[in-house]
């Protein structure tokens, strides 16, 4: 019995440990926590320190069992209260994650990215969302890797341009409701025209447009007119729409009815990966043909003098106007329909002050943009045509903004 070995009673073995490190005043402090509890504590789900900390002792090195000195704690934290120091380290410290925990975290973020892409993207040809299996397989083909410094939403949205090279995909539009209140029917008509011009410039699809009359009392002269416009618009246009509503100083109210507008589709069962491969090959072939055709048209247009009464539509507009062709489209404009000739955005006359203020964002992104205002035949709607510094024409503010931002 004399030769029997035993573990000393005074030693406490720390097992299943997650270490949180915090360096301040040139000293690195560590605390020993239970695994998978630090994240819950930081998220606010766990508030009891006893369920987070294995011990309230403050260490210089947990693995070696070196405890921090009181003088060092006083110097770094201004106190020797271990519980207060533990809370500071838990909030500001760096969690040391093991390999298995890292794998679980990456799988969770990848799953969140797939869910976000399914919810926020559609097939532009059918306006329906893609199934989870197809998005997951496409992410693998794009060699998607988790970035711990970015949120799942940021990483998911950043993958859309890469996925667009495999098959047609885009952000699902949002549905907004604009409510305009006016004192008279004439004022309501004026505000409606201004609103419709704004929505047309941003490529919005107006779904409903209604006018209602509300009587404040028995006197009709105190009646108010409310114009309600429901439309769908690209999600990237939310900020301009919100800025437009705020600039109206209360006369226009913006409500978000839906964050993602998709066509209702029947539920689909298991995803066949071969369908992705076939669709990807077909889309790539079509994309290569369009790119080569557009490149040929661009070479033919080099050296030609610009004519302000003729528009060379952008490739995005071409695909909407003439599907399947990538050829440039030219439209001859009668001079009698030109309200303001082509010129710098800052030179728009005072009567178009609201448009000038909205369009100036293009110059802040990229200098040298021109604009021309036109009116439709037998209509009061005013259209704006934008010209880039490279003399490319765009029939909407949304297209011009995407060009200035460098978004294809």
Q: Which of 95, 119, 151 is the last residue of a domain?
A: 95
Same domain, 214 and 142: no
DSSP 378: T
| pLDDT reported for residue 13 | 56
Q: What Å distances lie between residue 21 and 12, 18, 94, 381, CA to CA?
A: 20, 10, 5, 63
Q: How far apart are CA 353 and CA 355, in angstroms?
A: 5
Q: Tell me if 282 is assigned to some domain.
A: no
Check whether residue 378 and residue 313 sit in a common domain: yes
**What pLDDT sits at residue 220?**
55
Domain harbouring 213, CATH code? 3.30.70.260
pLDDT for residue 9: 55
pLDDT above 60 (res 190) = yes
pLDDT category of residue 317 using cuts at 50, 70 and 90: very low
Quick one: 155 and 208 in the same domain?
no
* pLDDT-derived band at 218, boundaries 50, 70, 90: low
The structure's pTM equals 0.50
Helical residues (DSSP H) of 24-131, grouped into ranges: 38-43, 70-77, 82-92, 99-120
Please, which pLDDT band fits residue 79 given cuts at 50, 70 and 90? very high
Q: 332-341 pLDDT, tens per residue? A: 566 767 888 8
The 3-state DSSP class for residue 10 equals coil
Where is average pLDDT lowest: 278-287, 316-325, 344-353? 316-325
pLDDT band with cut points at 50, 70 and 90 for residue 99: confident
Query: Could you tell me what percentage of the chain is helix, strand and coil, using 3-state DSSP and rounding each to the nearest 5?
Result: 40, 25, 35
Runs of H (alpha helix) within 121-252: 132-141, 152-158, 160-163, 185-201, 238-247
Which CATH number does the domain housing residue 159 bear? 1.10.10.900
Is 290 inside any structural domain?
no
Residue 86 pLDDT > 90, yes or no? yes
> Is 243's pLDDT higher than 70?
yes
213 shares its domain with 130: no
**One domain, residues 313 and 396:** yes
Pairing mode, strands 174-182 and 27-34: unpaired
Average pLDDT, the chain: 78
Residue that finishes a domain, picked among 62, 95, 128: 95
CATH number at residue 58: 3.30.1250.10
Q: Please check whether residue 297 lies inside any domain of the structure.
A: no
Evaluate if residue 405 carries a pLDDT over 60. yes
Residues 6+ apart with CB under 8 A from 75: 25, 27
Task: Give the domain-ending residue among 45, 76, 95.
Answer: 95
**Into how many domains does the chain fold?**
4
- With tokens 């926020």, the residue in question is 120
Q: pLDDT value at position 327?
A: 33
Confidence bin at 84 (pLDDT 50/70/90) = very high
Over residues 70-81, mean pLDDT? 92
Q: Are the C-beta atoms of 223 and 213 separated by less than 8 Å? A: yes
Instruction: Give me the domain span that covers residue 135.
Output: 99-171
Whether residues 164 and 179 share a domain: the answer is no
What is the percent of the chain with per-residue pLDDT over 70, rounded to a whole number?
74
Residue 8 lies in a domain: no
| 389 and 320, same domain (yes or no) | yes
Q: What is the DSSP string of 348-370?
A: --GGGHHHHHHHHHHHHHSS--E
- pLDDT tens by residue, 17-67: 889 999 998 999 999 988 778 878 887 888 888 889 988 899 999 888 899
241 and 322 in a common domain: no
pLDDT for residue 10: 56
Q: Clarify whether residues 182 and 152 are in a common domain.
A: no
Lowest mean pLDDT, pick from 16-30, 38-52, 175-189, 257-271:
257-271
271 falls within a domain: no
The answer to whether position 337 is within a domain reads yes
Identify the pLDDT of residue 71.
92
In this structure, the answer to whether residues 132 and 184 fall within a common structural domain is no
Same domain, yes or no: 187 and 167? no
Name the pLDDT band for 81 (thresholds 50, 70, 90): very high
Q: Do 246 and 216 share a structural domain?
A: yes
Whether residue 387 is contained in a domain is answered as yes
């Amino acid at each position: 019995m004399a030769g029997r070995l035993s573990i000393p009673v005074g030693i406490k073995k720390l097992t299943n440990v997650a270490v949180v490190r915090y360096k301040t005043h040139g000293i690195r402090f560590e605390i020993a926590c239970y695994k998978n509890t630090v994240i819950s504590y930081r998220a606010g789900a766990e508030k009891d320190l006893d369920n987070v900390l294995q011990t309230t002792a403050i260490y210089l090195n947990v693995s070696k069992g070196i405890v921090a000195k009181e003088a060092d704690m006083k110097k770094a934290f201004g106190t020797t209260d271990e519980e207060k120091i533990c809370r500071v380290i838990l909030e500001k410290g760096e969690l040391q994650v093991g390999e298995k925990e890292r794998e679980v975290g990456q799988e969770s973020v990848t799953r969140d990215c797939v869910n976000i892409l399914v919810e926020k993207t559609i097939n532009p040809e059918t306006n329906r969302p893609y199934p989870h299996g197809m998005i997951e397989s496409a992410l693998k083909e794009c060699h998607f890797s988790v970035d711990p410094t970015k949120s799942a939403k940021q990483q998911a949205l950043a993958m859309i341009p890469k996925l667009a090279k495999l098959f047609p995909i885009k952000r699902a539009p949002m549905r907004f409701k604009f409510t305009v209140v006016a004192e008279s029917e004439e004022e309501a008509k004026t505000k409606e025209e201004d609103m419709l011009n704004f929505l047309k410039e941003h490529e919005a699809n107006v779904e409903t447009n209604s006018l209602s009359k509300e009587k404040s009392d028995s006197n009709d002269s105190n009646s108010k007119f409310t114009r309600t416009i429901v439309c769908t618009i690209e999600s990237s246009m939310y900020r301009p729409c919100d800025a437009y509503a705020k600039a109206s100083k209360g006369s226009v109210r913006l409500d978000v009815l839906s964050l993602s507008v998709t066509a209702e589709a029947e539920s689909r069962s298991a995803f066949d990966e071969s369908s992705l491969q076939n669709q990807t090959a077909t889309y790539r072939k079509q994309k290569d043909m369009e790119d080569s055709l557009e490149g040929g048209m661009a070479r033919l247009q080099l050296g030609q003098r610009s004519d302000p009464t003729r528009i060379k539509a952008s490739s995005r507009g071409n695909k909407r106007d003439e599907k399947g062709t990538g050829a440039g489209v030219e439209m001859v404009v009668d001079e009698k329909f030109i309200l303001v000739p082509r010129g710098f955005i800052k030179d728009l006359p005072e009567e178009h002050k609201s448009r000038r203020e909205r369009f100036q964002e293009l110059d802040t992104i990229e200098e040298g943009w021109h604009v021309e205002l036109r009116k439709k035949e037998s209509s009061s709607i005013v259209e704006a045509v934008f010209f880039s510094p490279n003399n490319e024409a765009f029939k909407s503010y949304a297209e011009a903004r995407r060009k200035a931002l460098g978004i294809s």
